[in-house]
A and B are shown apart, each in its own frame.
Chain A
């Protein structure tokens, strides 16, 4: 693996990604470098990505300001983050928050687990433990 850098995207790109045919379960974690609880739970998502289950795709959506992308990239290097990181450059939050999940207040960390086969989705707005994350995925997978 080579050095990881965040891709700066607009909401449309994320929206398309969530609607495209892909592995069974997509795990989208919303985080920022300034969010302590986010950084604490980040290793669980990294571990999930590293495990390489072909039925699961991990996407880290970063909510730092786009002009802080260098700070984000240096964080990714220091923490050796390998999961794909998308920096969502959409400052007008009310234009897209509800499209991720109506129940989202806007606080982070927040995680969306989506089953692209059944359409089943679980959205949680709190710091997840490793077992919380595993349970969310189990809940969302086709049984």
Chain B
């Protein structure tokens, strides 16, 4: 009996990590500290929408996608869909993802998009973000934003040139053209977000 009693907390823990936002869901506004020390909110920053990316400094997949994330912002910021990068990793578990290291990362790679710290991890939890990088494209609807795409950036983390399915670009292009986003949900191997237990 003892064994079964021990099993329960493990599964409850997993349940806490099940994705909360699904495609079509309205997104609650959030306000987080940027690498320049100023707070940025989704409602204050996004216009037509945003490419929200849960990311970090240390994950090899984040590193592999870093230049592609910069390119996404360059391509879509003037079309109303800027990148908003959010790091939710607990720096106690992943010291390379501390705020100071985020500041250096943004400086070294000349980020022109916000790179926000989610210290309480509440925003990442509300999105149901699991990996880095994990993308949520949101689109303006009424006074708020709804989720239009969840998943990977493209289908080849190793080599940008070989990616023949550019999920995020396709999603944002579809939104700009007022078309249906398809696929609206993908998955990707990546580093798990370092949640405090």
Q: Give the chain A neighbours of B130 by CB distance below 8 A.
A: 105-107, 125
Of all chain B residues, which has the CB nearest A34? B60
Q: Chain A interface residue count: which class?
A: 20 to 34
Residues from 75 to 118 in B contacting A, C-beta threshold 8 Å: 94
Taking the complex as formed, is B24 at the interface, i.e. its CB lies under 8 A from any CB of chain A? no
A65: interface (CB < 8 Å): yes
CB distance from B181 to the nearest CB of A (A): 15
Interfacial chain B residues near A63, Cβ < 8 Å: 189
Q: Are B19 and A94 in contact (CB under 8 A)?
A: no
Q: With the chains together, A104 CA to B18 CA distance in Å?
A: 10
Q: Does B157 contact A (CB under 8 A)?
A: yes
A81 CA to B20 CA, complexed, in Å? 38
For the complex, give the distance between the alpha carbons of A135 and B4 in Å.
Answer: 8
Residue of B nearest to A134 (CB): B3
Is A98's CB within 8 Å of the partner chain B? yes
Q: Which residue of A lies closest to B63 (CB)?
A: A34
In angstroms, how far is the closest chain A Cβ from the Cβ of B186? 5
Binding site for B on A (CB under 8 A): 34-37, 63, 65, 67, 91-94, 97-98, 104-109, 124-126, 131-132, 135, 138-139
Chain B residues proximal to chain A, CB less than 8 Å = 3, 6-7, 10, 13-14, 17, 19, 59-60, 94, 130-131, 151-152, 155-159, 162, 165, 186-193
